[in-house]
Structure 1
């Protein structure tokens, strides 16, 4: 089963060799590695071409700079001969043998449509493993896990999974967004007819806080995320089930963002108006309250019922707590 590996490439010259070498040295050899030079101004494009000359499994696409989503979308039409699909960011790298583990499991379990694995968060010379317990979830349970956002939930990152290509055929990333993985993952799980399986293996090394990386931003701007969700709802017009899932992703994301805003008074004063308007709109739609604890379920309901009251109470509680 040929596995397509899509790698967007832009201004990552110091990391690119490590990334590509970790893919091509995998023990699973039946790969199609699509390197997308997204108009990188450094030597990345030439490095990609060098790999293509040396290894017939490598295909290089050169395009004008359009961002991560644009680069991934450019590669997707070139995966038609591959029953499996995955992604790698070009400043990250793989652990040996992870594709063999993933593909072997999918070959032996045709009921599984999406297979996930853990990763290491790498900061300088330190590495922290992020693993899920081994488990198999139905489509509905996988969606619930993804939307719950607990410590053991499924993450949004598309590079931590291998997909059967039929699941994501025709599905693209919204270009220009900083949160492209969130809605793509939601739609992939929603479109899946089979199960999700998690391997308790850290197969991917995720480099955080490199210069210029999105992860250096402390308080994120979620406006793009909500625009992504709204666009995806339009794609599923009339689908009440998808609306509930998508709106759950929206209200859950808003809930966590308001908790961050409460801890950042300066940001709250400048941003709260926009996000409050979103809260009033989102609460009119159906959503699922997947929080496990009773207290969180109550707080979540209070937040949607009266966001201003929730924020006032939370900030007052924080001040009282800090005094003690």
Structure 2
């Protein structure tokens, strides 16, 4: 999608003749998002004349929204549910990791083209590590050797999680999704790059507890109402060292997290993942380190 020349840009930051840059979140819904809270704080802290907006985009408006990113002063966007997979064919170039995952959550307008990336995978591993899960090597990579990962969902966020978990070397991966076909499709993609066992389920009753388990909710179930993606009688089977991670961060405590904590299990919401995936997005947009402490303070983590 070639656009007009970006002659005022230097590392994607304009000269002061430009009133402000535009960047935002594409999805439906988006009103719940905390992204403007910490991204705007980062922009302001570094003196970048830009505004981070929420762009609610129903599916029938997605093509027009992506076209709008080609405007002169638009830096790019984050992408959330339900568009992380749908945006791929609308972009000019897709990073190899995002292409393998099959989902994009960050779009960068650079050199007159739209580039797609996935920062969710990195964000998830950093969030787990901050909660004491895994080991970090000198090169910054996270290893999850010996852990069993139970992944709830098979959509865009779940695909990023699955590739991240496989790449970090979990002992086994279990994908639980209402549509067995989608779970099996994701499992088949993972097995192209992962030698460990991958199981696909559509009925949580068949889940078997393993020591050192990580349960990750990558669905939107729990965002609205007191509902959980995992029945309490199934959660109660898991051992005391199980860690429960819910990608949802609004509400701060979902029903799944409440259940886990009531049982004495360690649990965390999606704010640390939001922080780290957003910081990497920021670095891709502006080609400079993100002010992580400023962003963390804005999110009150």
> Is TM > 0.5 for Structure 1 vs Structure 2?
no
Larger radius of gyration: 1
State the TM bucket, normalised to the shorter chain: 0.3 to 0.5
Give the alignment's TM-score, normalised by structure 2: 0.32
TM-score by length of 1: 0.31
Which has the larger share of helix?
1
